[in-house]
Structure 1
Amino acid sequence: MEFVIKISQFLLSLSLLIVLHELGHFIPAKLFKTKVEKFYLFFDVKFSLFKKKIGETEYGIGWLPLGGYVKIAGMIDESMDKEQMAQPPQPWEFRSKPAWQRLIIMLGGVTVNFILAYIIFVFVAFVYGDTDIKIDSLKGGYLVENQVLLDSGFKTGDKVLAINDQDIEKDSEIGQYIIGAEQITVDRQGEKKVIDLPENFLGQLSDEGSRNLFRYRYPFIVESVPDSSANAAVDIKTGDVILSLNGKKLDYFDEFEGELKNLKGQTVSVEILRDESTLVRDLQVTQEGKLNIFRLIDAKRFTDLGYYEVIRREYSFGESFVAGGSKFKSTIVNYFSQLKAIFNPSTGAYKGLGGFKAIYDIFPDFWSWEAFWKLTAFLSIMLAVLNLLPIPALDGGHVMFLLYEIISGRKPSEKFLERAQIVGFFILIALVLFANGNDVFKAVTK
């Protein structure tokens, strides 16, 4: 069931982005009276799942979900239709249109992606608002289990104060600024510590394979006790907070985990907070050092118990345009920082480059419209930025040659454009193979 939910979100988001991107090319092409021969969601290699011709355009759905395309008459693209290009130019063809019209057609896809991302961020701000956690309110700092962080000098209990020269006040800002981080300042039991990160920090994180960096520290709140547990008959209820172990006060679940490892097979006395009362119960520890009690994750309860403070901000319709714009801007800046790190071999960030499996993995295994729209907005920006890379076969490659034509007044020959398209196609295939190969390598070596 989890697979069905994740794949449904993945395909819905991908389909939406592809159709709107290609629509961004389609609409200006039609406005400039340019013939569009095909409009496809996914690639129809050899055959298509569905197709229908309406007017001069064939609309369809391919079977290979690696993207989509519009085939514009008289344009040198991935179809490499040399037979058509060998004929005399026709007034309805792309190559017959003025350079400025061709430029607008080529920029239409990425323009739609940027606009879509902004609109989504605006409506997410209006409908859901912002929810964050103040770092200085974290009662026990962060739980640090990631080995790369531990090797770099972080310890459980640290609170992040700054990344490089950027002060960090909210938890979400850590992910925003961690790309390109060289130094992180933390509060360690009231004392400031500056931790220097290795140059290949991002590469090490990728090699380690864990997506968990800094996690909140939670109290031990009971959700349920399975029937198979040796403690099933003990009077323990949902919502009970376990406060101590053999008289030793423990505030966080990770502290219980550490203590229980030294009490394997023993009977322990625990203090429990239930409503306003404190109770004492005897519990059996397994040979694996566990109580076999499921713990409860409840953000509101954690807040009520004073473990952190949640910041909730709601926006009016007018305010959401500013809030959405701010999120749109920060997402673009952050993504360019990621690209900069990826193209710098010394950072090792290229090891984290992923393909369709990596995109699939970022969707949650439960249905959340808020998460879906936020991820779709991010992917829309990613699609726009990647399409703007000056690689022939991508929109950015076409734009590069069109700008050259506009500035110099000389149009590159069709033979040159054909060869550039072939080179760009192989570069693109190499990047796709590398990214998806990374996915396969991680899956095999995990």
Structure 2
Amino acid sequence: MDLVIKILTFVLIISILVVLHEFGHYLPARYFKIKVEKFYLFFDWKFSLFKKKIGETEWGIGWLPLGGYVKIAGMIDESMDTEQMKKDPEPWEFRSKPAWQRLIVMLGGVTVNFLLAWIIYTGLLAVNGDTYIPANNLKYGIVVDSIGEKIGLKTGDQIVAIDGKKSKKFTDAQIDILLGDQLTVNRNGQEITFPIKEEALADVLSSQGKSFLGYRQKTVIDSVLPDSPAEKAGVLAGDEIVSVDGESNTFNNEFISKITSSANTPIQLGLMRDGKLQKLNLTVPEEGVIGVFMSRDDLSVTDEYSLPAAIPAGFNETIDVLTNQVKQFKIIFNTKTKGYKAVKGPIGIVEMMPAKWNWSFFWSFLAMFSVWLAFANLLPIPALDGGHVMFLLYEMISGRPPSEKVLERGQIAGFIIVMGLMAVIFGNDIWNIIKRFL
């Protein structure tokens, strides 16, 4: 059932985005009196699951869930209908319209995707506000694992800035570090700046979402498991661990490291209870756990937004998401970071979906993916909207359109590029699944 919910969530998100994107092309085409022959959700290669002719347009659902399309008369597109192009242009065809009108039609899809993301982010901010952990609210600094240390960070650092930009949200720090070039931290009272090591980013990406960065807190016991070594020794919820075997212990990460490295070993815990120091003895079992959960302070804050304030904030959030997606190309195509290995296709994205229905996730992911769809479609690759825009801009600047042969060959080349990328992405998804069983 969990997998069904994940698949349905992904299919619903894709369906909404594709339909709205294609309406972004359809509506201006009809406004400029251009004939739209087909409007399809998913591709109908060889056959369709559903189709119905309404007016001059065939509306349908294809069987291949890799997007969708509108077939606009008089245009060389993925349908490769060159027979129509051999006839004399009709006034209701795409090729008969002024270049500026054709440009608006081609930009309609990405415009709708951008506006959709802006609207969703505005609504989320107006309803839920913006909840985050302030970067300057970490009293005891950060805690990093071996991957974080490879990047150049050290436990106890305070993150000051990334690429010279002051960090407002600690919750954005991981993605900002991945996409940044240099880090500024406060280390032992001294501000230092160092380059982010690209080789270490490969380890971050290969960890499949494992967090390399957290924030440090004092060792306060939240709860104790029944019949655990800790309970038998007399440890209580609310105790603050201050030493292990006489060595000072202040923070969670220190305590966890000490316990996990003391399997089958008797230890003495020094703890503060009701303002008094107590010492308890216990033996750490072979598993390296003693049956306690650490208390974690909730350091998050929420910025509330009225609707008028949420509108520009939603726009800024959309731009930030778009900017990060552009920056991702720096690590995707970098041979040192090997980001291409972490790119997820439909299979990988389905795995990211929550196992239970979650409206907050649904709207947030829909907005983010809408921005991604807008950006991806604007890439200057023939067969994508950006390819058509590229040819139209050439026509507007030079005063003459590319030949139909150039458009046809460009469409074929673009189709091969897109299908090749899809094959690589699907292959990467499948390989990541196989690796789990090796």
TM tier, smaller: 0.7 to 0.9
Could you say if the C-alpha distance between residues 104 and 248 of structure 1 is closer, same or farther in structure 2, counting changes exceeding 3 Å?
same
Could you say if the C-alpha distance between residues 277 and 50 of structure 1 is closer, same or farther in structure 2, counting changes exceeding 3 Å?
farther
Q: What is the identity, as a one-letter code, of the residue corresponding to 1:64?
A: L
Query: Which residue of 2 is the match for residue 329 of structure 1?
Result: 319
- Contact 2:382–2:411 (CA under 8 A) maintained in structure 1: yes
> Is 2:127 aligned against 1:127?
yes
CA distance in 1, matches of 2:274, 2:116: 48
Could you say if the C-alpha distance between residues 139 and 388 of structure 1 is closer, same or farther in structure 2, counting changes exceeding 3 Å?
same
Could you say if the C-alpha distance between residues 4 and 247 of structure 1 is closer, same or farther in structure 2, counting changes exceeding 3 Å?
farther
Q: Give 3-state SS (helix, strand or coil) of 2:132's partner.
A: strand
Q: Displacement, 1:347?
A: 5.4
- Contact 2:174–2:213 (CA under 8 A) maintained in structure 1: no
Q: Displacement, 1:18?
A: 0.9
Q: Give 3-state SS (helix, strand or coil) of 2:286's partner.
A: coil
Q: Displacement, 1:290?
A: 1.1
> Is 2:351 aligned against 1:353?
no
Moved more, 178-187 or 427-436: 178-187
- Contact 1:243–1:249 (CA under 8 A) maintained in structure 2: no
Query: Which residue of 1 is the match for residue 418 of structure 2?
Result: 428
Q: What is the identity, as a one-letter code, of the residue corresponding to 1:21?
A: H
The share of aligned pairs that are identical, in percent, is 46
CA distance in 1, matches of 2:5, 2:143: 29
CA distance in 2, matches of 1:341, 1:390: 20
Query: Which residue of 2 is the match for residue 45 of structure 1?
Result: 45
> Is 2:241 aligned against 1:243?
yes
Q: What is the identity, as a one-letter code, of the residue corresponding to 1:436?
A: F
CA distance in 2, matches of 1:26, 1:162: 45
CA distance in 2, matches of 1:21, 1:275: 62
Query: Which residue of 2 is the match for residue 386 of structure 1?
Result: 376
Query: Which residue of 2 is the match for residue 67 of structure 1?
Result: 67
Q: What is the identity, as a one-letter code, of the residue corresponding to 1:443?
A: I
Query: Which residue of 2 is the match for residue 310 of structure 1?
Result: 300
Q: What is the identity, as a one-letter code, of the residue corresponding to 2:350?
A: Y
CA distance in 2, matches of 1:110, 1:351: 27
Q: Displacement, 1:4?
A: 3.6
Query: Which residue of 1 is the match for residue 158 of structure 2?
Result: 159
Moved more, 408-417 or 432-441: 432-441
Aligned length: 434
Q: Displacement, 1:220?
A: 5.4
Q: What is the identity, as a one-letter code, of the residue corresponding to 2:433?
A: A
Q: Displacement, 1:230?
A: 6.3
- Contact 2:220–2:239 (CA under 8 A) maintained in structure 1: yes
Deviations 1:386-433 (A, max 9, x none): 111111100011111112222222122222211110011111112222
In structure 1, the gaps of 5 or more residues are 304-308
Could you say if the C-alpha distance between residues 367 and 250 of structure 1 is closer, same or farther in structure 2, counting changes exceeding 3 Å?
farther
Q: Give 3-state SS (helix, strand or coil) of 1:178's partner.
A: helix
- Contact 1:201–1:348 (CA under 8 A) maintained in structure 2: no
CA distance in 2, matches of 1:68, 1:430: 18
Moved more, 430-439 or 105-114: 430-439
Q: What is the identity, as a one-letter code, of the residue corresponding to 1:265?
A: N
CA distance in 2, matches of 1:38, 1:223: 61
**After superposition, where does 1:20-419 map in structure 2 within 5 Å?**
20-147=20-147, 149-175=148-174, 177-217=176-216, 219=219, 221-222=221-222, 225=225, 240=238, 243=241, 250-266=249-265, 285-293=284-292, 295=293, 302-303=297-298, 309-343=299-333, 345=335, 348-419=338-409
CA distance in 2, matches of 1:276, 1:54: 78
Q: Give 3-state SS (helix, strand or coil) of 1:74's partner.
A: coil
Moved more, 1-10 or 67-76: 1-10
Query: Which residue of 2 is the match for residue 3 of structure 1?
Result: 3
Q: Displacement, 1:358?
A: 4.0
- Contact 1:128–1:370 (CA under 8 A) maintained in structure 2: no
- Contact 1:262–1:289 (CA under 8 A) maintained in structure 2: yes
Moved more, 56-65 or 212-221: 212-221
Q: Displacement, 1:162?
A: 1.8
Q: Displacement, 1:174?
A: 2.1
Taking structure 1 as the reference length, what is the TM-score of the superposition? 0.85
Q: Give 3-state SS (helix, strand or coil) of 1:377's partner.
A: helix
CA distance in 2, matches of 1:135, 1:51: 53
Deviations 1:241-290 (A, max 9, x none): 56355676644433332121343235656577899999987766321211
Q: What is the identity, as a one-letter code, of the residue corresponding to 1:258?
A: S
Q: Give 3-state SS (helix, strand or coil) of 2:258's partner.
A: helix
Could you say if the C-alpha distance between residues 195 and 22 of structure 1 is closer, same or farther in structure 2, counting changes exceeding 3 Å?
same
CA distance in 1, matches of 2:263, 2:335: 47
Could you say if the C-alpha distance between residues 196 and 315 of structure 1 is closer, same or farther in structure 2, counting changes exceeding 3 Å?
same
CA distance in 1, matches of 2:426, 2:199: 22
Q: Give 3-state SS (helix, strand or coil) of 2:211's partner.
A: coil
Q: What is the identity, as a one-letter code, of the residue corresponding to 2:73?
A: A
C-alpha root-mean-square deviation of aligned residues, in Å? 3.2
- Contact 1:268–1:282 (CA under 8 A) maintained in structure 2: yes
Q: Displacement, 1:28?
A: 1.1
CA distance in 2, matches of 1:63, 1:241: 60
- Contact 1:200–1:349 (CA under 8 A) maintained in structure 2: no
CA distance in 2, matches of 1:210, 1:170: 19
Query: Which residue of 2 is the match for residue 306 of structure 1?
Result: none
CA distance in 1, matches of 2:76, 2:295: 55
CA distance in 2, matches of 1:59, 1:224: 61
CA distance in 1, matches of 2:356, 2:247: 38
Moved more, 423-432 or 133-142: 133-142
Q: Displacement, 1:235?
A: 7.6
- Contact 1:204–1:348 (CA under 8 A) maintained in structure 2: no
